[in-house]
Amino acid sequence: MAIRTFQHHTPALGERAFVDHSAVVIGDVEIGADSSVWPLTVIRGDMHRIRIGARTSVQDGSVLHITHAGPFNPDGFPLLIGDEVTIGHKVMLHGCTVGNRILIGMGTTIMDGAVVEDEVIIGAGSLVPPGKRLESGFLYVGRPVKQVRPLTEKEIAFFPYSATNYVKLKDQHLAEGFDRPC
């Protein structure tokens, strides 16, 4: 794995966190306990901070970045991700806030300043525009996303199931040494 210090900020990994050896994690990044970062993912906290909670899974080929501070956005936007979040393959998260117990479908993009409240499912291929807020307890789909319907009890029960499933899988990958270079 490529864990890189940038501007005196070294990424911090929580207890039992897994970062695949092909992933790159740079700068002011904290990854919570039992979280997992899968192959070919880039997490770049070079101009603002990135915080990823516990039992969160960042799937293959995802790109996580921030919005830097500048004349058009004086404070910038960090990237903040809660606990028990499943981030699908090839997701782009950019300077947004993602709550707890979220499923982000494959190929989704969430833009600067967007806020996803707790217990939300975002369908594959969706686009969450800058500054949009997704209300807790709903399914959202589309480009741009639209609220479709309330989540079912079964869908809400899926959040901790998915988190537990990826904790078990990352433990197997840690045991096989896939966090170390080949």
Q: What is the pLDDT of residue 1?
A: 56
Q: What is the pLDDT of residue 180?
A: 77
Is residue 182 assigned to a domain?
no
Is residue 112 assigned to a domain?
yes
Is residue 136 assigned to a domain?
yes
Is residue 181 assigned to a domain?
no
Q: What is the mean pLDDT of each run of 10 residues along the chain (182 residues)?
A: 90 96 97 98 97 98 96 94 98 98 98 98 98 98 98 97 96 87 67
Structural domain range at position 55: 2-175
Q: What is the pLDDT of residue 177?
A: 84
Is residue 50 assigned to a domain?
yes
The domain total for the chain is 1
Beta bridge partners of 27: 45
Is residue 139 assigned to a domain?
yes
* CATH classification at residue 137: 2.160.10.10
- Cα dihedral value 68, 100, 150, 141, nearest 10: 40
Is residue 52 assigned to a domain?
yes
Cβ atoms of 143 and 128 closer than 8 Å? no
Is residue 46 assigned to a domain?
yes
